[in-house]
Chains A and B, each alone.
Chain A
Amino acid sequence: MQFASRRFGNIAVAIPSGRLDHAAAADFEAALVPLASEAGNAGLVLDMAGVDYLSSVGLRVLMLATRAARARKARIAAVALQPLVAEIFAISRFDSVFEMYPSVPAALSAMSPDARAAYDASAATQD
C-alpha cells in the first residue's frame, strides 16, 4: 500500500494505492484518519483509482475516516473506483456510505467550487 495526499482549496484528496488489506490496514489508518480529522478540511475525497483490492479490514479504515469526517460535519467522497473495487463497495453497502463520483474533479465540483477552481489552476500549471 502506498499513500499520498493533495489539497485543493478546502478539500483534501487522499490517494491510496495497491491492496488495502490486513497487512496494510495499520499504515492506511495512520495516514487516512488524521486527514479526515483535520479541521481545515471541509471535505475529503478518496481517489481510489490506484486501489486494486479492498478487504473488510480496509473497509473498516474507510468507515473510521467517515466517522472522523462526519463528526465535524465534513463531507467525504470516493471516486474513480476500479470495477472490482466498485463491486466490493456495492456488496458491502459502502457505496451508500460515501458520496460517489467518477473522478476527482467531478467530486470537487460537487463539494466546493473553490476547490474545483484550485484543481483547474493546478492542472493548467502542470500543462
Chain B
Amino acid sequence: MRGVRFWGTRGSLPVALDAAGVRAKIVAALRGSVGRDLTSEDALATYVDDLPFAVGGTFGGNTSCVQLITGDADYVVCDLGSGLRAFGNAVLARHGPAKPQTYHVFVSHLHWDHIMGLPFFGPAYIPGNRVVFYGGHQGLEAALRRQMDPPSFPVAFDVFRASIEFVHLPPDVTHEVAGMRVRLKRQHHAGDSYGYRFEKNDRAVIYSTDSEHKLTESDERDAFAEFFRDAGLVIFDAMYSLAEATSVKADWGHSSNIVGVELCQAANAKELCLFHHEPALDDAALAKMLAETRRFEEITRGTAPLRISAAYDGLEIAL
C-alpha cells in the first residue's frame, strides 16, 4: 500500500466555491502583500505558495471518493461520490480510452452522496473495462441501477459497456480482494454503513465514513479501536463538532474530530485524516477545525504523536 488520493471529500452534498468566496480570498491575499516587493516572478510565486491553504487553496466540494494507491495495475477506489467523475477522467487521460483497465470499487453505503458520481464515470461506458463493485449491503446493485432509472437520469444503467460485477462482502471476516486483505465493519448510520480496513505489505488504511460513535458502550469503542489498530492512515467522518453530534445532530449518523482523535490514539494509529466535511463549512472554518484538532491531539497526546490532516480534493497522502 503506497498511499491514497482524495477525489471527493465533502459530506451530504457537493458544494462549490462561489464568487463571494473567491473575492474574499483575493482580498486576503492582496492585504497580505501590502509592503512586500513582489515585482519578480520568483517572489510572487513564493508569496502565493506560502499563503495559508484557506486563502491560496480550497478544500473542494466533491462528495466522497478516495483512491487507494496499492502499487498494482488495477485501480481501487472507495465510494462513488461526485469526485468519481474527476477520478475517471484522470485515468482516461492517463491511459487513453482504448486501453482496458480494471476498477475495484468499495462502497460504504447507498446514500445518494456516496453513489451519485457513477452515472458520470466515463470508464463504465467503455467496452473492455472491468468495474467490480464491493459492499456489505445486499441492495447495492439495485441502488446503483435505481438512480439511473427514469425520471432520475436520461441514461439507464444497462448502457454501461464495461464488464460490471457485484460482490457482496460480509463484515467481520477478512477477504482477499485486489491483492489486499479487506475487512468490513458495520457502522452506526441510517440504513447501516460499512467501514473498511485495507491491508497490504503490512500497511493498513482505514476508510470509516458516515459512522456515528455513540460513546456510551465501551465494548463498541474498543471494537472500533481494534478495527483501527496500528493503521498508517484513518480516514474518518468528522462532519460535526462534538457538541452538534451529541445534541441537535445526535442520531444523524456522523462523528466529530474529537472522537476521531480519541479512537486513533486508543488504536495507536499513525495518522488521522478528517473527512466528509460539512457542506456548510467554508475553507476558513475547515482550516480552523484542522488547527484545533491538531491542538487537541497535542494536549491529549500519550506516548506517540498522531499526525492530523484534513482531506481536500486532490490531496495525496503517502504511507
Chain A contact residues, CB within 8 Å of chain B = 22, 53, 55-57, 59-60, 63, 66-67, 84, 87-88, 90-94, 96-97
Contacts and interface: CB of A to CB of B under 8 A. Distances in A.
Given A87-B295, A92-B258, A60 B215 contact: yes
B298 to A, nearest CB: 10
Contacts of B293: 91
Interface in B173-222: 215-216, 218, 221
A94 B242 CA distance: 8
* B216, B243, B257, B300, most chain A CB atoms within 10 A: B243
Contact of A63 (B218, B246, B256, B257): B246
A63 to B, nearest CB: 4
A contact patch SS: helix
Contacts of B247: 63, 66-67, 97
Contacts of A91: 257-258, 292-293, 295-296
B243 A87 contact: no
Contacts of A96: 243
Nearest to B288: A91
A94 B241 CA distance: 9
B215 A92 contact: no
Interface in B237-283: 241-244, 246-247, 256-259, 262
B299 interface: yes
A88 B244 contact: no
Given A91-B258, A92-B256, A56 B241 contact: no
A87 B215 contact: no
Interface in B291-310: 292-293, 295-296, 299-300
A32 to B, nearest CB: 15
A92 B241 CA distance: 6
